[in-house]
Amino acid sequence: MSIRAAIALVVACGCGMLCAARAGTAGLVHEKSIYTDGARKALESPEGVGCAEDGRLVVADTAHGRLLLFTWNDGRLEGGSEIKLPEVPRPTMIQLDPAGNMLVLDRKTGRIAVLDARGAFVRFLEIAGVAPKAFKLVAGKLYVLDAKRVLVLDSAGRIGREVALPSEGEFMDVAAAPGGAVYVIDSVSGTLRAAEDGADSFRKLTPGPARQMTFPTYVAIDETGRFFVVDRNAQAIVLLDKDGGLLSRALRYGRADGLLNYPGQLCLTHGYAFVADRNNNRVQIFSILR
């Protein structure tokens, strides 16, 4: 399969046992919690969740070394079939493309695996000299974060842009806007940084001296340009505006549905947010209030 087929993905989620209780804070309303696959096997420490506009959901059930395939349409969750591959022993981050292909970052191997729509292994996505920490697929381009930089690859797999990371900080995730702006999250300082289209370095986006986030680890951008940031150590989702200003903080620590315990990846689609709630061994689905 060509890089062109691999590079068109979006993230999802998944699971099994459903809870219908509704609870919410700051714009996120709990819809369902997913605890098992379709065969009722419980999830264990899921870190990744990917969603697509056609309703496809994929969960990285990390501790069990497997992926789970679901659909989420009209508030209904179906499926839950298992994909277990030797090439992906510890899946942690997922992106899905419109054709159904999956890109999966594996923590144990440190590689991005390309799977087809049925979950069959196709190949590894190799980028010379790069050990990926995180990645996103946006508007046909692949954005890859490693320890020193963000690389932007076109649909043919050619590196078209490189943006160096600041010398200080611990950068955990990358995001991008369709217009070409690139964003990274510095977990140590709790800040979001931006590099506009054509820039070769990042500037601090988060305004003001006040610290807005404790230890952010993942960021997603919705269709309006808002940032949804997983503040892992604060057990919260932080919403920022286009300029990095604080809009609201959603959720808090706990084990009941609608609360979080060491969250991982987050995915947005069709007015829903899907959160891999790792230490609660579930994926939660929230509707987003406008």
**3 state DSSP class of 232:** helix
Residue pointed to by tokens 């697929």: 137
Q: What is the pLDDT of residue 133?
A: 97
Q: What is the pLDDT of residue 100?
A: 85
CA 231 from centre of chain:
13
Tokens linked to 241: 């505006």
Tokens linked to 74: 């009209």
Measured distance CA(16)–CA(13) in Å, rounded: 11
Measured distance CA(268)–CA(38) in Å, rounded: 23
* Cα atoms in the 13 Å half-sphere on the side-chain side of 27: 17
Eight-class DSSP state of 253? B
Q: Give the residues across from 105 on adjacent strands.
A: 93, 112
Tokens linked to 243: 């300029």
Out of 2.40.10.500, 3.40.50.11810, 3.40.630.30, 3.40.50.10490, the CATH code matching 3-167+252-288 is 2.40.10.500
Q: What is the pLDDT of residue 26?
A: 53
Q: Give the residues across from 48 on adjacent strands.
A: 60
pLDDT, one tens digit per residue, over 81-93 is 999 999 999 999 9
Q: What is the pLDDT of residue 140?
A: 87
Number of neighbours of residue 123 by Cβ within 10 angstroms? 13
Q: What is the pLDDT of residue 27?
A: 86
Contact (CB, 8 A) for 274 and 12? yes
Q: Position 169: which residue type? A: G
Query: Starting from the edge strand earliest in sequence, which strands make up the sheet with 111-115, in order?
Result: 91-96, 102-106, 111-115, 121-125
> What does each of the 290 residues of the chain score in pLDDT, given as a tens digit?
444 333 332 222 333 333 333 343 458 999 999 999 999 999 999 999 999 999 999 999 999 999 999 999 989 999 999 999 999 999 999 999 888 899 999 999 999 999 999 999 999 998 989 999 999 999 889 999 999 999 999 887 889 999 999 999 999 999 999 889 999 999 999 999 999 998 999 999 876 777 889 999 999 999 999 999 999 999 999 999 999 999 999 999 999 999 999 999 999 999 999 999 999 999 999 999 87
Q: For 24-50, give one letter per residue: b (16+ CB within 10 A) or e.
A: bbebbbbbbbbbbbbeebebebbbbbb
Residue 252, C-beta contacts closer than 8 angstroms, at least 6 positions apart: 25, 235, 236, 259, 260
Q: What is the pLDDT of residue 14?
A: 31
